[in-house]
Each structure stands twice: as C-alpha cells, then as structure tokens.
Amino acid sequence: MLAQINADNPDSFLNVIKGSVSGTLYTFGVPYVAQSLVLYYNKEYITEEQAQTWEGILEAATTANKQALSITGTDGYNNSFLLLARNAETNATSLRLYVDGVQTDCYGTGDDTIAILKWGQRFFANPHGAKAPSDSGWEPELTDEISLSLVGGAWHFAAAQSALGSNLGITVLPTFTITEADAYGTVEAGTVFQSGTFADTKMFVMKKNSDKAEYLEDILLFLSSKEIQEESFIECENLPAYKNAAAEFEAFLEDTPEAKLASAQVGMFEFGIPQPFGFNSKFNTYYYSKGAPDLILEILENPEGTFTSKEAIKAQMLIVQSIWKTGNRP
C-alpha cells in the first residue's frame, strides 16, 4: 500500500499525509479524491486566449461594460487566489502557512505578497474588475451577465453550468502582470504571477493497530487504486487524486464540461498547496475565523484610500501574520 501511495500521488499530497512521531515517519492517510479552485467564465464575451490572464478578462469586461469577476466568498478559501499566487516563471512564493506544522512558521509580508495585493487592489477598484459578494449572489450575476467569470470549486460547477449553459468555459486560474504601480522591493514591473489555490486531498484512514489491518489494507489499496479512482470520476464526477489522471484517464480527454473541470483542477495542482491546518485544529481557526480574511479584503477594497500605499498594505499584513501565528490581533 505504501508503494502505491508513493507512486500514484503528487508530492504536494505526500507532504501532508506523512508526519513524524517521536522521530519515526508515519503515513496517516491514503488519498483518493482531490479538489482545487478553477475559473468559470462566459465564452460569449471572453475568448480562450483572454481567459488565460486577468488582464484579458478585464479587457473583455470593459468592452462589454460588465464586471470581470465575481468571487463566491470573502473567506480565506474562496478569496485566496491572490494571497496564494506564485511567480509564474519560478513557481516560487514567499508566503508561508504553518510549514511542517509549526504554529509560528507563518509569513505574509514578503515583497511578492505586497506587490500582488497592490495589483489586486487596483483590480478590485476598477469599475469593470473584481466584484465582492453582494446580496444578490454570484449565480444571478453570472446568469444576468453582470459578471463574466467566477473563481470557484467543483461544488460550484452545477450552479455555474445552470447560469451559463452552453457559454460555460472552464480553465485554470489566470495569470496577471505586475505594473510600475504595483512593483515593490525585489518584485519588478513585468513580473508575471500565477493565481494560486488550496489543492487538497481527501483520504481514507485506518485505525492504528487494528486487528483487521490485513483486510483493511487490501480494501484501501483497492478503493484508492487508479482504476477505481477513474471509475469514481466517470460515475460520480469525483476528481481523482492520482497524479497522472489528466494524461491516462480516457474520460479526461472527452469534450465535456466535466472533463474540462477535472483537467483544470488537476492543472492547478502545480500552483497549489494543501490546506496546512490538519496538524492542529487551532490553525484552521486562526487562519479562517479570527479576522484575517476581513483584513485582507480591506486591503483589496481599500476603503477611503486607507491602504493606498504599499507601506500601509505591509502594516496590515503584519497584523494578519500575527493573527495566523497567535489567533490574536496585536
């Protein structure tokens, strides 16, 4: 079973299902389903080429006098595509969140993060740019063509398909390019960033020292096999955790919205990190529920011009960083 786990899963999943206890490395779960954020967009207004960059989507929205983007929520997951963005050339980011389960190993004030949030602030300020959630909700905004795209997960697929019908396009999250207005420190104008995501896996787990271990291992080996993962995708639309699914599963190659969704999600794995909150339940609370997402949204929406300067953005992110580490606002 361990051989299959190591052979069939991307490194990002392997890194979060293993951990050391008293100096011994253990595997705690068997991945079988995956998920990540992708872009849903209106093909009537946005071309495939334009959908590759936020600038292209903004261009399409400006031409059509629409909004470029609706986000589904202001929480730290659904509004994470900028915070988790990576250098498109090097796939690097200075962002750190509970690395190796260390509570204090969080960092959100790097030059790249500040430049990214400054770019995002301009994107949200543009009258045709990003649109925060409203009382009407994102589904009518897509249906009524108020907004032309959505950052969402597989759980948004049915509603997005209902809203856009045959005009539904699905692809990986777009890139964006830092301008002179955004450049900060070591991050120069012209630097291209890839929007990021949390790329997570669901796992089977087995009771430690179970007297049924011999039978359970066979069951888990079967249920997590690539053959069953492929069948699960075909029958239930569960996105496989198998790292070579996009190239090997025939259903991924079909010209269907479901196949495009699966391919886009798999394509985002390269630019995503698993949510690093399984080490300790309070990490999840500190990241999501102690006010940090609201502070990041304040940067992006920039009420009364409070966060126009990059120094003000950094000062706000120092507060966010402290909340991640301690659960308290300094």
Q: Residue 96: inside a domain, yes or no?
A: yes
Instruction: Identify whether residues 77 and 136 lie together within a single domain.
Output: yes
pLDDT in tens, 212-232: 888 888 999 999 999 999 999
Together in a domain, 69 and 108: yes
In a domain, 280, yes or no: no
Question: What is residue 108's DSSP assignment?
Answer: -
Domain membership of residue 303 (yes or no) is yes
At a CB cut-off of 8 Å and minimum separation 6, what does 37 contact? Answer: 78, 80, 81, 151, 152, 153, 173, 197, 198, 268, 272
Inter-axis angle of helices 292-301 and 310-326, to 10 degrees?
Answer: 170
**Mean pLDDT score, 6-30:** 80
Q: Does any domain span residue 111?
A: yes
Residue with tokens 């300094």: 330
The boundaries of the domain holding residue 118 are: 38-198+290-326
What is the Cα gyration radius of the chain? Answer: 20
Model-level pTM? 0.90
Number of compact structural domains in the chain? 2
**Domain shared by 148 and 62, yes or no:** yes
- Mean pLDDT, the chain, rounded, equals 93
Task: Indicate if 294 and 145 belong to the same structural domain.
Answer: yes
Closest CA to 39 of 238, 195, 144, 269: 195
**175 and 319 assigned to the same domain:** yes
Q: Is residue 10 part of a domain?
A: yes
Distance from C-alpha of 42 to C-alpha of 212, rounded to nearest angstrom: 51
Structure tokens at 17: 């299902």
Same domain, 209 and 181: no
Q: How many CB atoms lie within 10 A of CB 21?
A: 8
Residue 148 lies in a domain: yes
How far is CA 164 from each of CA 100, 104, 105, 171, 257, rounded to the nearest angstrom?
A: 41, 44, 42, 15, 12
Residue 256 inside a domain? The answer is: no
CATH number (domain holding residue 95): 3.40.190.10
Using CA atoms, how far apart are residues 154 and 179, in angstroms rounded to an integer? 32
Amino acid making up residue 17: I
Do residues 113 and 159 both lie within one domain? yes
Q: Tell me if 53 is assigned to some domain.
A: yes
For residues 8 and 56, state if they share a domain. Answer: no
For the segment 112-154, what is each residue's pLDDT rounded down to a tens digit?
Answer: 999 999 999 999 999 999 988 887 789 999 999 999 999 999 8
CB atoms within 10 A of CB 90: 8
Q: For residue range 296-319, what is the model confidence (pLDDT) as tens digits?
A: 999 999 999 999 999 999 999 999
pLDDT above 90 (res 194): yes
CA distances from 67 to 61, 124, 141 (A): 6, 10, 9
My answer on whether 222 and 147 are in the same domain is no
Per-residue pLDDT at 55 exceeds 90 = yes
Is pLDDT at 62 greater than 70 in this prediction? yes
What does the angle CA 33 – CA 75 – CA 306 come to, to the nearest 5 degrees?
150
Tens of pLDDT along 280-294?
889 999 999 999 999
